[in-house]
Structure 1
Amino acid sequence: MAGCKNLIGTFMLQIIVLALFSLHAEGQGLKVGFYKKSCPQAEGIVSKVISDVMAVAPSLSGPLLRMHFHDCFIRGCDGSILLDSPKGQTEKFSPPNLSLRGFNVIDRVKLALEKACPGVVSCADIVALVARDVTVATKGPHWKVETGRRDGKVSLITDPINPVTGLPSFTSNITVLKQSWSLRGLSTKDLVVLSGGHTIGMSHCSSFEERLYNFTGKGNNGDTDPTMDQNYVARLKLKCKPQDKTTIVELDPGSFKTFDDSYYKLVTKRRGLLQSDAALLNDPETRAYMIKSTSHGSTFFKDFGVSMVNMGRIGVLTGSQGEIRKVCTKTN
C-alpha cells in the first residue's frame, strides 16, 4: 500500500512539474532581432551555412527541423539535445533521438558564429534558426524567429523516455498527443500544424512495422492496421520486411524533399505512415484542419510559422539563466 502511495505521489509531482513547465511557455525575454546590435550578421551567417549544406545534403532538412522539436519538448528550448557526455548519458543518446542527424551542421554554424561574434549567440537559438532556414531551403514558409534563448547545463538520457514528461511516441493515440502538447502550453491546432512538418524527412521501417505485420500484437504476419489504405500497405511491405531495422521510407512519398501540404492529402487518404499521423483523423478539430489543408483555402504555410514560434517559447532560459556555450556539445 505504501508503495502504491509513493507511486501516486511521484506521478502527481511530475504532473505539477509539467504544469509549472507549461506556465513558462510564454517565451518571456525573447524577441525578433535580439542580436541586432551584438551580432548583426548572425542570421545571415546561419542562412549561408544552411544554404551551403542543403545544396549538397538536402536529406538533412527533416532531421534538423525535428531536432528543434526534440529539444523544446524536453527541458524547453535550451539546446540540451546537443550535449555530449563521456559515457553517452545525455538526451542525444536516448532511443527517440538516435535517428536524429545533422549535429555536425549545428557545430558548423556555431563555429562560424564564434568566429564572427565570440560568446554571443546561443546554441539553443542556433537550433531554432536552423529549423526555419531548412524549411525555407525546401520551399517552405519563412517566419521571424524570436531569439534570446540561453543554453541549459543539464541533459539526461532518461528524460526523453520518461512516461509522463518524455517525447510523445510515433505510436501515440490522439488523446496522448493532445495531452503532450497541452502540458507544454501548445494547442490542438499547434499539434496538427506542427505534424505537417512530416512533409519532409524519412522514417525507419521499425517505426511502423507493427502496422504492417503485427497490429494487434498477436504475432500474425497478416495482421495489418485496418485503418491504413491497403494498397499503401502492399507497397510498404515491398520495402519493409519483418524485423527490418535499417531501411528508411519517405514520410511524404513523391515530395519528401519539398515542404508542401501534400502530407495532409496523404493522411486524409489513410496513407499516413506513422500511427501518430493517422491519429490526427480521430479528433474533430485536427481532422477538420487536415481537410481544409487539402483545399485552395489552406493556411498551412502561415500557420506553420506561428506554431513554430509558439513551440520555440517553451521553457526558455533568458537573461542571466543558463549560459552561452562556446561549443554546443559541452557546457562551459
Structure 2
Amino acid sequence: MMVSSRITSWAALALLFFIAVVAHTANGHDHLSAGYYAKTCPNVERIVWSVMANRVGGGRMAPAVLRLFFHDCFVNGCDASVLLDATPFSESEKDVEPNTSLTGFTVIDEIKSALERDCPATVSCADVIAIASRDAVTLLGGPTWNVPLGRKDSRFAARREFTRAHLPSPNDNLTELIRMFGELGLDARDMTALSGAHTVGMANCMHYRGRVYGTSNTKYNIDPSFAESRRQLCPPQGPIGDAGKAPFDVTTPMKFDNAYYRDLIAHQGLLNSDQALYGGGGVDNLVEMYGTDGDAFGRDFAKAMVKMGNIPPPKGMPMEVRLQCSKAN
C-alpha cells in the first residue's frame, strides 16, 4: 500500500512537471529578458551583429530583415512561423500575398547556422529575427535598444486565409490600421511610430499603382508631381511582382531617419496606408512631431519595437527551438 502510494505521488508530481513544461513551451514569451542567454549563449548578440554587418551593412537587405520581423509578429505573434517552408502536411505563410515578396531568409539562415556552431539548440529563430531587425535599423543609422529574449519557435505556420487577414493592406485606412494594431496590443502611437519603418525599403508597383493613378477605392491627397514621377516607374497596366519598385522615401531611401513623416506632410506617401496617417485624421499631431523631431521618433520607434516583439503566440501553440529555421525539428 505504501509502495502504491509512493508511485501515485510520483506520478502526480511527474504530471505536474509535464504540465508546467508544456505551459512554458506554449507561452514562451512570459519571461522575456535581455539577459536570457547570458549563461547559455553569451555571444549571441555579437554573432548576430557580425553576420548582419558582413551580409547586410547599409544595403537593401537590411529593410528586408526588418520587414520579416513585422510580418512574423503580426501573424500568431513573434514565433518565427513566417520562416517555415510548406510541407505536404502544412501550408507556408511565405506563399500568401503580401509575404510572397519577402526576402532576407538567407541572412537569418546564416545567423542561425553560426549560432548552432557556437551554442547548439539554444537560440530560437524568433529571437534571431528580433535581434537582427534591431541591428538592421542600427546599421541604417537608426536607434538601438535592448532586445528582450527568450522566445520559442512555432512548429506550425498559420493557414493562408488567417495570414492574409492579419497582415495590413496597402490600401487600409486609418481606422482599419488602428484596429489591426490594437488587436495586437499596440495603440495609435505605436502604430504611427512603427509605420516609420517605411522610411527605408521599397514597394512593388502593384501596391501603389492605384494610388498614383487615382484608381484605388481608398483615395487620399497626393502631390501631383510625386504621382507623375511614380507613374514613370509604374505603367497603368503590366506585369506585377517586382516590376516598378519604388522607394518609400525618395530623399534618403537607405537611411533610417524621420523623412517618411515629412513625406506624408507633403502628401508624398507611396501607399494609401502610408498617407492614411496624415490629412485630417487622429494622428496628424504625431506625424508632425516625428517629422520635426527625429529623436522623438527614434525613441518611440524603439519602444514600439520592443512592445511588438512581446506579442506572444496563442496559448497552447506547440513550441520549440528549431535547429533549422525553415522547418520544424
Pairing 1:1-332 to 2, within 5 Å after superposition: 27-55=29-57, 58-86=59-87, 89-155=91-157, 156-162=159-165, 166-215=166-215, 225=219, 227-244=221-238, 245=240, 246-282=243-279, 284-296=281-293, 298-316=295-313, 322-332=319-329
Q: Tell me the SS of whatever aligns to 2:60.
A: helix
Q: How many residues align?
A: 299
Deviations 1:241-276 (A, max 9, x none): 112421200111121111000000001110000011
CA distance in 1, matches of 2:286, 2:168: 21
- Alpha-carbon offset, residue 157 of structure 1: 2.7
Q: TM-score, normalised by structure 1?
A: 0.85
CA distance in 2, matches of 1:323, 1:200: 32
Deviations 1:156-213 (A, max 9, x none): 3332213xxx111111000100000111111100000000000110001110111122
Deviations 1:100-147 (A, max 9, x none): 111011000000000000000000000101100010100110000000
CA distance in 2, matches of 1:101, 1:107: 12
Of 79-88 and 229-238, more deviation after overlay is shown by: 79-88
CA distance in 2, matches of 1:326, 1:309: 25
Contact 2:170 2:273 (8 Å CA) reproduced: yes
CA distance in 2, matches of 1:203, 1:139: 21
Alignment RMSD: 2.4
CA distance in 2, matches of 1:66, 1:282: 26
- Alpha-carbon offset, residue 39 of structure 1: 0.2
Which amino acid letter does the alignment assign opposite residue 163 of structure 2? P
CA distance in 1, matches of 2:290, 2:101: 28
CA distance in 1, matches of 2:51, 2:232: 38
Percent identity between the two aligned chains = 36
Structure 1 pair 297–259 and aligned structure 2 pair: CA distance change class (3 A): closer
Contact 1:181 1:187 (8 Å CA) reproduced: yes
Give ranges in structure 1 of 5+ residues lacking alignment.
Answer: 1-23, 218-223
Q: Which has the larger radius of gyration?
A: 2
Which amino acid letter does the alignment assign opposite residue 126 of structure 1? V
CA distance in 2, matches of 1:297, 1:257: 16
Give ranges in structure 2 of 5+ residues lacking alignment.
Answer: 1-25
Contact 2:73 2:311 (8 Å CA) reproduced: yes
Of 202-211 and 238-247, more deviation after overlay is shown by: 238-247
CA distance in 2, matches of 1:179, 1:267: 21
